[in-house]
Amino acid sequence: MATVPATEQPEKREPRSNRGEQMAKRYHRSRRFVGLASWLLSTALIIVFLWTGATVWLRDFAYQVFRHPALALLVYATVLGAAMKFLHLPASFYRGFFLERRYGLSRQAFSGWAKDYLKASVLSALLGLASLEIVYYALGRYPELWWVIVAAVFVLFVLVLANLAPVLLFPLFFKFKPLENADLTERLQKLCERAKTRVRGVWEWKLGEKSSRGNAALVGWGNTRRIILADTVLENYAPEEIQSILAHELGHHVHADLWRGLALEAALAFASFYAAHRVLLLATPWFGFAGLADFANLPLLMLAGTAISLAALPMANAFSRQMERAADRFALETTRDREAFISSMEKLGSQNLAEPRPNRLIELVFYSHPPVEKRLALAREVKL
């Protein structure tokens, strides 16, 4: 019998599910690697900027442009921020555009991605500059209590943003329109009524213009709380599956997870700004800064904030995973539809290229949600 030469042997194909899992691993491994490299580069830049005295030189330059401290701070922060943004640009392009296109998650052309990137950069720059003005005003006016004032303002800002984001921020990047499917709208509104949660309508989210990902959420609070359903979900999911996804989101509201999360953020904010205060007290004489309100110490504040955030990340993610598990359980017990929950989680995991079984250490440090396999295991164990 004739044999096929080794160079022409048909390629062995992995089972489809295994191929998808391997693809997800490669995707997330690439994202983590590039993210870590970008973080190390930016941290190195901050250290060099601080250690070489470049931060003092830039402060002096800023005062040559404007004598008023608030205006000089704008010059200093704009130059430093632009340098950081330029350093992050390759990683942002690779993670936000190249990888998303390579793995079939993005439908945007480069021009569309660039437009959104620029829009987000301008918005974050404006918010960042305003935040710095508040920080250094408080440092100058209330040097002993600035950390209390800034932390309180931060918590208030997060609270206001959670309310206004659905009507002010989201529409800057996506289109929304009232859901036209009357039967599905009624089904979801009845589910909200059973959960004693008032919503301001059900909206179709035009996510498919930019991404193939699937998503649905209950966003906002008070007079802005609304259901948003991605068109990529409406096109591919049964009503029972969409109901299961929304039931999970309702679980967060029923359990007051917004307020629990805000309480954790408030505690972390006060602890972080107090730790930064202690760092500034110790390091200001050593680096020769002209007092706590000398904005040449901004790189030091950035390093302190980064260190504290990294230390708190595993704890914050563990807290988040606990809330997600409780919301999954609520969805199962409310809908009593195990199969719809399982199929919706499987579809979302596949559509969003989620890792079903990540490394345990990676999960503990980086995952704010339980992996897909653990969510499915919970669904099979819950007694209905």
Task: Give a three-class secondary structure readout of 306-350.
Answer: HHHHHHHHHHHHHHHHHHHHHHHHHHHHHHCCHHHHHHHHHHHHH
Percent of the chain having pLDDT more than 90? 78
pLDDT of res. 1: 36
The range of the structural domain enclosing residue 128 comes to 20-173+255-381
pLDDT digits (tens, 9 = 90+) for 312-371: 999 999 999 999 999 999 999 999 999 999 999 999 999 999 998 999 999 999 999 999
Give burial (CB, 10 Å; 0-12/13-18/19+) of 36: exposed
pLDDT of res. 322: 96
Q: pLDDT band at 196, cuts 50/70/90?
A: confident
Q: Are 71 and 59 in contact (CB under 8 A)?
A: no
Q: pLDDT band at 248, cuts 50/70/90?
A: very high
Q: pLDDT band at 384, cuts 50/70/90?
A: confident
Look at residue 28 and tell me whether its pLDDT is greater than 90: yes
Q: Please indicate, yes or no, if residue 11 is contained in any of the structural domains.
A: no
Q: Are 235 and 208 in contact (CB under 8 A)?
A: yes
Q: Name residue, tokens 């529409």.
A: 171
pLDDT digits (tens, 9 = 90+) for 1-27: 333 333 333 333 334 467 788 999 999
Q: Please indicate, yes or no, if residue 354 is contained in any of the structural domains.
A: yes
156 CB contacts (<8 Å, ≥6 apart)? none
pLDDT digits (tens, 9 = 90+) for 53-89: 899 999 999 999 999 999 999 999 999 999 999 999 9
Q: Please indicate, yes or no, if residue 131 is contained in any of the structural domains.
A: yes
Look at residue 305 and tell me whether its pLDDT is greater than 80: yes
157 CB contacts (<8 Å, ≥6 apart)? none
Look at residue 243 and tell me whether its pLDDT is greater than 90: yes
Average pLDDT value for the chain = 90
Q: Please indicate, yes or no, if residue 6 is contained in any of the structural domains.
A: no
pLDDT of res. 127: 94
Percent of the chain having pLDDT more than 70? 96
pLDDT of res. 88: 92
Number of domains in the chain: 1
Give the three-class secondary structure for 218. Answer: strand
Look at residue 242 and tell me whether its pLDDT is greater than 70: yes
Look at residue 156 and tell me whether its pLDDT is greater than 70: yes
d(CA 273, CA 382): 42
Q: Please indicate, yes or no, if residue 53 is contained in any of the structural domains.
A: yes
Q: Please indicate, yes or no, if residue 196 is contained in any of the structural domains.
A: no
Q: Please indicate, yes or no, if residue 180 is contained in any of the structural domains.
A: no
pLDDT of res. 372: 94
Q: Please indicate, yes or no, if residue 204 is contained in any of the structural domains.
A: no
Look at residue 220 and tell me whether its pLDDT is greater than 60: yes
Which run of H or E residues covers position 176? strand 176-178
pLDDT of res. 17: 60
